C-alpha cells in the first residue's frame, strides 16, 4: 500500500460484444479504457462530448458515474431513461459490463447453424379439460382432475408441485376450460386457463464463453428459432478456474455468477418468444447442457469442490428442478432438466456431443474434439468410450491473445499470406465492405499461424524469423511481431499483429490437445480412428486443415466432419426425446475418464507437442 497504484483502484470491466476484459483505472472514462484495450468505439468528436456517437450502456448502471451535463443535453429523455450513456463522459466507478450497441449481438453463429426437425417423444403431455365435473364425494380438486383426465385422455396424472395445485385452484375460481401441462416424471407442472395446445421447449447450451438457446416445438420436433449471446459471467474471468476463484473469494460470489447467467438466459428466452410470437407459458420444459462448472453455477451450487483435488462436482446430475427454484422466468413449476455430467472436467456438454454423434451406437471409431474454452476429447465406439479434458486455455477463443477478440462483428476470422510477397489477406466478420477490423478471433489466429508457418515466418519452435518482411521488433526490444493490419487501417487506430507471445499461447493450447489425443489412444489401446468430428466454438468456420498443419491434432487420414454445435444438438435431442435422457445417464456411466495430470507421460507428450510439425518437403 505504499506506492501510488494503491491509491488508484482498478475496476474489472467486460466490453460486449467483443468480450474484452479490462482493468479500468479509477474514474477513467469508458472511452479511455476502450482505447487503452483496443476496443473500437465510434467517436467523431474525439471525446469532447459533442458528437453524441459513443453511446454505451452499463450493467449494473451504477458502475458508471451519474450522467454529466453533456449527456443530459445530447441524449434524449428516452435514451437517458433506458440507460444510454456517452463513453467519453461516463467514468468507471465499479465492476460491470459495458455494452456497445449496434454491436450488441454477439456473433454466435458457430452455435446457431443448427436447424431442422428431430425425433420427438417429449416428457411433456398437455391435456385439455373442457369442463371439470365436481362430485360431492370425498374428493379434492386434484382428484377431480385426475378422474376427468383419465376419462378424457386415458392418462393417469399426479399432482406433486405446489404451484401447479395453486394454479389449479385459481383456474377453478376463474371457471371455464383448462389445460394441464403433465410431466411424465414430475406430474402436473402447470395448469393453464383455456385451451392451450402449443407445447414448446427450450434447449440451452451454457458455454464458458457463449450461451445458445434453441426454441423447439415439443410435438413436431421442429427447431423454431435460436438465439445466442456471450456468457456474462466472463466479467469474472475467461475460464472456469477464474469463475471458481471468484466464487471462492466472494461471499455472495456463487449467487452473483448464477444470477448473471440466469438473467441472460431469461432475456434470450424472452427474445425467442417475442420473435416467434409465442407466450411464456407456451414453454413446457427447458433442457440444459454445459461443462460441469457451468451446470454447477446454473444450479447455484458452490463450485468450490471443482477447484480442489479430487475435483468432485457437488452433483453429477441429471437434475429435474422447477423453474422457480432456479430463477428461470417461465411458469414456476416448469421442469428444468440439467444433463448428467461425467466428472468435474467432463460435463453435460460432452455428453451432448456424444448424443449428437452417437459413437456409442456405432462400429466405426470416432474421435470427437469439442474445442471451446476447454478442450474435450472423446474416443471410441460401441465397445467403449474414453474421454479426457485438456486445459487449452481461452487462447483458441481469442482471449489472452494481444489483439484477440471473440468471434464477433469486426473480428478477423480468416487469414492467409501471399507466399511471394508475404502480404497478409484477411476476412472480417460482418464485413459489408466498409467496416475495419477490430481484432482477431480464434479461427483467425490459427489461420494466421498456419500461414506464417507455411511461408516460413515462424520456425518450428515458434520463434518469428528476424528480418522477414512484416516481422518487426517490439518497441520494448523484447520479442517480435508480424503485422496483419497497420494502425491506420484498423477500427481502433491500433495495429493488429501476431506476437511471439501469441504464438506461444497457441502452442500451449495445441500441445495440450495433441498430448491429450496421444494419451487417450495409448490408455484405451485404440489405434485406429475412422472419423474425426470437430465441434465447439470454432464451429463451421474453422479450417481444420490449418489446425492439422500446425499440429493441433495428429493426421489420421480419417474423414473429418465439422459439427456446428454438437453439445447444443445433444441438448435439443434430449429436450425433445425423453429416451435420450436415459441414454445420457447410460453414457455418463459408460465413459471412462482419463485425468491427464495423473498420467506419467503426459508432460513428455505435452512438451513434444509444443513444436510445429516440419513443413512438407
Which stretches of the chain bind a copy of itself, using CB under 8 A? 134-144, 159, 162-163, 165-166, 168-170, 172-173, 247-248, 254, 296, 299-305, 309-316, 319, 321, 325-326, 342-343, 589, 593, 595
Please, which residue, 309 or 557, has the CB nearer to a copy of itself?
309
Could you tell me if 19 and 408 are in contact, meaning their C-beta atoms sit under 8 angstroms apart?
yes
Residue 510 CA: distances (Å) to CA of 128, 345, 394, 532, 608:
55, 18, 12, 16, 11
Q: Cβ of residue 584: shortest distance to a copy of itself, in angstroms? A: 15
Please, which residue, 313 or 570, has the CB nearer to a copy of itself?
313
Please, which residue, 158 or 561, has the CB nearer to a copy of itself?
158
Please, which residue, 183 or 453, has the CB nearer to a copy of itself?
183
Closest to 346 (Cα-Cα) out of 319, 301, 311, 321? 311
Please, which residue, 219 or 304, has the CB nearer to a copy of itself?
304
Q: Cβ of residue 140: shortest distance to a copy of itself, in angstroms? A: 4
Q: Cβ of residue 313: shortest distance to a copy of itself, in angstroms? A: 5
What would the 3-class secondary structure string for 240-293 be? Answer: HHHHHHHHHHCCCHHHHHHHHHHHHHHHHHHHHHHHHCCCHHHEEEEEEEECHH
Q: Cβ of residue 170: shortest distance to a copy of itself, in angstroms? A: 5
Please, which residue, 579 or 589, has the CB nearer to a copy of itself?
589
Please, which residue, 169 or 489, has the CB nearer to a copy of itself?
169
Strand pairing report for 85-86 and 187-193: unpaired
Distance of alpha carbon 546 from alpha carbon 551, whole angstroms: 9
Closest to 374 (Cα-Cα) out of 412, 351, 347? 347
Distance of alpha carbon 523 from alpha carbon 531, whole angstroms: 19
Q: Cβ of residue 341: shortest distance to a copy of itself, in angstroms? A: 8
Give φ, ψ of 223 to 5 degrees: -85, 115
Q: Which three cell numbers stand for residue 124?
A: 411433456
Q: Cβ of residue 300: shortest distance to a copy of itself, in angstroms? A: 6
Q: Cβ of residue 61: shortest distance to a copy of itself, in angstroms? A: 29
Q: Cβ of residue 572: shortest distance to a copy of itself, in angstroms? A: 24
Q: Cβ of residue 421: shortest distance to a copy of itself, in angstroms? A: 55
Judged on CB neighbours under 10 Å (0-12, 13-18, 19+), 239 is: buried
The SS3 of residue 86 is strand
Strand pairing report for 178-183 and 124-129: antiparallel
What is the strand order of the sheet 335-338 is part of? 223-230, 210-217, 200-206, 283-290, 335-338, 319-322
Q: Cβ of residue 371: shortest distance to a copy of itself, in angstroms? A: 25
For residue 487, the 8-state DSSP code is G
**In this structure, is the dihedral angle defined by the CA atoms of residues 228, 406, 610 and 291, taken in order, positive or negative?**
negative
Please, which residue, 287 or 550, has the CB nearer to a copy of itself?
287
Q: Cβ of residue 151: shortest distance to a copy of itself, in angstroms? A: 17
Residue 435 CA: distances (Å) to CA of 489, 491, 505:
10, 8, 28
Q: Cβ of residue 216: shortest distance to a copy of itself, in angstroms? A: 25
Please, which residue, 248 or 263, has the CB nearer to a copy of itself?
248
Q: Cβ of residue 102: shortest distance to a copy of itself, in angstroms? A: 39
Please, which residue, 8 or 170, has the CB nearer to a copy of itself?
170
DSSP per residue over 126-156, as a string? EEEES-PPP-SSS--HHHHHHHHHHHHH---
Q: Which three cell numbers stand for residue 487?
A: 494502425
Could you tell me if 372 and 536 are in contact, meaning their C-beta atoms sit under 8 angstroms apart?
yes
Could you tell me if 186 and 335 are in contact, meaning their C-beta atoms sit under 8 angstroms apart?
yes
Give φ, ψ of 534 to 5 degrees: -110, 130
Angle between helices 566-576 and 348-357 (to 10 degrees): 80
Please, which residue, 146 or 264, has the CB nearer to a copy of itself?
146
What is the strand order of the sheet 124-129 is part of? 124-129, 178-183, 187-193
Distance of alpha carbon 256 from alpha carbon 247, whole angstroms: 8
Please, which residue, 173 or 434, has the CB nearer to a copy of itself?
173
Q: Cβ of residue 310: shortest distance to a copy of itself, in angstroms? A: 3
Distance of alpha carbon 363 from alpha carbon 31, whole angstroms: 57
355 Cβ contact list (under 8 Å, min separation 6)? 569, 570, 573, 574, 580, 583, 584, 587
Q: Cβ of residue 322: shortest distance to a copy of itself, in angstroms? A: 9
Please, which residue, 40 or 159, has the CB nearer to a copy of itself?
159
Please, which residue, 333 or 570, has the CB nearer to a copy of itself?
333
Please, which residue, 107 or 295, has the CB nearer to a copy of itself?
295
For residue 617, the 8-state DSSP code is -
Amino acid at each position: 500500500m505504499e506506492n501510488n497504484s494503491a491509491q488508484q483502484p482498478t475496476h474489472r470491466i467486460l466490453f460486449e460484444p467483443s468480450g474484452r476484459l479490462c482493468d479500468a483505472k479509477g474514474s477513467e472514462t469508458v472511452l479511455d479504457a476502450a482505447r487503452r484495450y483496443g476496443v473500437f468505439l465510434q467517436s467523431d468528436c474525439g471525446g469532447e462530448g459533442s458528437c453524441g456517437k459513443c453511446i454505451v450502456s452499463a450493467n449494473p448502471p451504477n458502475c458508471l458515474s451519474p450522467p454529466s451535463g453533456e449527456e443530459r443535453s445530447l441524449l434524449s429523455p428516452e435514451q437517458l431513461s433506458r440507460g444510454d450513456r456517452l463513453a467519453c463522459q461516463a467514468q468507471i466507478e465499479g465492476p460491470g459490463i459495458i455494452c456497445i450497441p449496434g454491436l450488441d449481438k454477439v456473433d454466435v453463429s458457430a452455435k446457431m447453424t443448427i436447424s431442422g426437425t428431430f425425433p420427438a417423444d417429449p416428457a411433456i403431455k398437455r391435456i385439455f379439460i373442457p369442463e371439470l365435473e365436481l362430485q360431492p364425494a370425498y374428493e379434492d380438486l386434484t382428484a377431480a382432475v385426475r378422474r376427468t383426465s383419465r376419462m378424457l385422455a386415458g392418462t393417469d396424472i399426479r399432482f406433486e408441485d405446489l404451484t401447479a395445485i395453486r394454479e389449479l385452484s385459481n383456474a377453478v375460481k376463474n371457471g371455464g376450460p383448462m389445460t394441464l401441462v403433465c410431466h411424465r416424471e414430475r406430474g402436473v407442472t402447470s395448469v393453464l386457463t383455456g385451451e392451450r395446445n402449443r407445447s414448446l421447449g427450450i434447449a440451452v447450451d451454457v458455454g464458458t464463453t457463449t450461451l445458445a438457446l434453441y426454441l423447439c416445438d415439443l410435438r413436431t420436433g421442429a427447431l423454431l428459432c435460436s438465439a445466442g449471446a456471450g456468457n456474462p459471467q466472463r466479467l469474472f474471468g475467461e475460464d472456469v478456474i477464474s469463475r471458481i476463484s471468484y466464487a471462492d473469494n466472494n461471499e455472495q460470489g456463487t449467487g452473483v455468477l448464477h444470477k448473471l447467467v440466469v438473467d441472460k438466459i431469461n432475456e434470450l428466452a424472452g427474445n425467442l418468444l417475442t420473435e416467434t410470437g409465442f407466450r411464456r407459458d407456451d414453454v413446457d420444459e427447458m433442457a440444459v447442457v454445459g461443462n460441469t462448472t457451468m451446470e454447477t453455477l446454473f444450479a447455484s451450487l458452490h463450485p468450490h469442490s471443482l477447484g480442489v483435488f479430487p475435483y468432485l462436482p457437488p452433483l453429477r446430475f441429471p437434475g429435474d428442478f422447477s423453474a422457480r427454484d432456479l430463477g428461470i422466468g417461465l411458469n414456476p413449476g416448469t421442469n428444468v432438466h440439467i444433463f448428467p455430467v461425467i466428472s468435474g472436467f467432463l460435463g453435460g456438454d460432452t455428453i451432448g456431443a456424444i448424443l449428437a454423434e452417437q459413437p456409442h451406437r456405432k462400429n466405426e471409431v470416432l474421435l470427437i474434439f469439442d474445442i471451446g474454452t476447454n478442450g474435450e476429447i472423446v474416443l471410441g465406439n460401441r465397445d467403449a468410450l474414453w474421454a479426457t479434458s485438456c486445459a487449452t486455455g481461452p487462447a483458441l477463443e481469442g482471449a489472452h491473445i494481444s489483439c484477440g477478440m471473440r468471434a464477433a462483428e469486426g473480428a478477423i476470422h480468416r487469414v492467409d499470406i501471399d507466399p511471394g510477397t508475404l502480404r497478409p489477406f484477411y476476412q472480417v466478420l460482418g464485413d459489408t465492405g466498409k467496416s475495419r477490423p477490430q481484432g482477431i478471433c480464434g479461427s483467425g489466429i490459427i489461420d494466421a499461424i498456419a500461414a506464417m508457418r507455411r511461408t516460413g515466418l515462424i520456425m518450428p519452435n515458434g520463434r518469428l524469423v528476424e528480418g522477414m518482411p512484416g516481422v518487426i521488433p517490439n518497441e520494448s526490444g523484447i520479442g517480435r511481431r508480424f503485422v496483419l493490419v497497420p494502425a491506420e487501417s484498423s477500427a481502433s487506430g491500433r495495429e493488429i499483429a501476431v506476437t511471439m507471445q501469441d504464438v506461444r499461447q497457441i502452442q500451449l493450447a495445441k500441445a495440450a490437445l495433441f498430448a491429450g489425443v496421444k494419451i487417450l489412444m495409448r490408455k484405451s489401446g485404440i489405434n485406429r480412428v475412422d472419423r474425426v468430428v470437430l465441434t465447439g466454438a470454432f464451429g463451421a468456420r474453422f479450417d481444420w486443415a490449418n489446425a492439422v498443419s500446425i499440429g493441433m491434432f495428429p493426421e489420421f487420414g480419417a474423414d473429418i466432419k465439422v459439427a456446428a454445435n454438437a453439445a447444443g444438438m445433444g441438448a435439443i435431442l434430449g429436450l425433445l426425446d425423453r429416451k435420450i435422457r436415459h441414454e445420457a445417464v447410460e453414457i455418463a456411466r459408460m465413459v471412462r475418464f482419463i485425468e491427464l495430470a495423473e498420467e506419467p507421460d503426459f508432460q513428455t507428450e505435452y512438451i513434444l507437442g509444443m513444436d510445429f510439425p516440419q513443413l512438407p518437403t
